Chain A
Amino acid sequence: ETGVTQTPRHLVMGMTNKKSLKCEQHLGHNAMYWYKQSAKKPLELMFVYNFKEQTENNSVPSRFSPECPNSSHLFLHLHTLQPEDSALYLCASSQGTDTQYFGPGTRLTVL
């Protein structure tokens, strides 16, 4: 399935690095999401974009910066992360409040 793609699939970065995660959806959806999945914790919603406008920011630290240039692309810019930010970062998309479809995720390790 290639409805929602994410790159890279794996990323290792130091605390002083700057990197970006990319998500692209090919489903014609108008809403996109970033989630964080840490070990032994439920999925945490980070950001929501509807029609390219950010509608949700769940108290996410400023070292995570989202960008949605159009309804098909979503980025998550990372800088000065902490080791506890190591997790699986999942992108999802939906048409309005319909079912969300997830990308394969980026497994991030912060050293």
Chain B
Amino acid sequence: RKEVEQDPGPFNVPEGATVAFNCTYSNSASQSFFWYRQDCRKEPKLLMSVYSSGNEDGRFTAQLNRASQYISLLIRDSKLSDSATYLCVVFPSGGGADGLTFGKGTHLIIQP
């Protein structure tokens, strides 16, 4: 089983719609979770951290379900500029920079 799995998509979504995608992780001891955004031929940039209680940043909401070992990202009122690849990132343990694991990413296309 892959350590971090994401549906690669692409997700084709009309502008203004709400879109959600999930990420599952295999290591139940994982402690830290992030969503990064990567535009075509650019470097990944942090979108938001994912906390156990769930967190929201504007149109973006991240949720963590430890029992089922998945993380979700919800984007409301999607904009054309949201088109990108969204990377799920997991730290398997609470400390130490080693072991950082990326998913392959979910490709999102917002259509006008």
Picked from B4, B32, B91, B97, the residue with its CB within 8 Å of the CB of A56 is: B97
Most buried by B among A40, A45, A96: A45
**Beta-carbon contacts under 8 Å, A75-108 to B:** 90, 94, 96-97, 99-105, 107
Task: Identify which of A40, A55, A99, A103 contacts B43 (C-beta below 8 A).
Answer: A103
Please tell me the number of chain B residues within 8 Å of chain A, measured between CB atoms.
22
A103 to chain B, nearest CB (A): 6
Q: Is B46's CB under 8 angstroms from A99's CB?
A: yes
- With contacts A97-B91, A97-B96, A99-B34 known, is A41 near B104, CB below 8 A? yes
The answer to whether the Cβ of A43 comes within 8 Å of any Cβ in the partner chain is: yes
Asked whether, in the complex, the Cβ of A50 is within 8 Å of the Cβ of B97, the reply is: yes
Q: Does any Cβ of B come within 8 Å of A61's Cβ?
A: no
Interface readout for B61-103 with A: 1 if CB under 8 Å, 0 if not?
Answer: 0000000000000000000000000010001000111101111
- B62 CB to closest chain A CB (Å) equals 14
Task: Tell me the bound Cα distance from A35 to B97 in angstroms.
Answer: 13
Residue of A90, A97, A104 touching B97 (CB-CB under 8 A): A97
In the complex, whether B59 has a CB less than 8 A from a CB of chain A is no
Chain B contact residues, CB within 8 Å of chain A: 4, 32, 34, 41-46, 49, 87, 91, 95-98, 100-105
Give A contacts to B, CB under 8 Å.
31, 33, 40-43, 45, 48, 50, 55-56, 90, 94, 96-97, 99-105, 107
12 sample A-B contacts, Cβ–Cβ < 8 Å, listed by A number: A33-B100, A42-B4, A43-B87, A45-B100, A45-B101, A48-B98, A55-B97, A90-B43, A94-B97, A97-B97, A100-B100, A103-B43
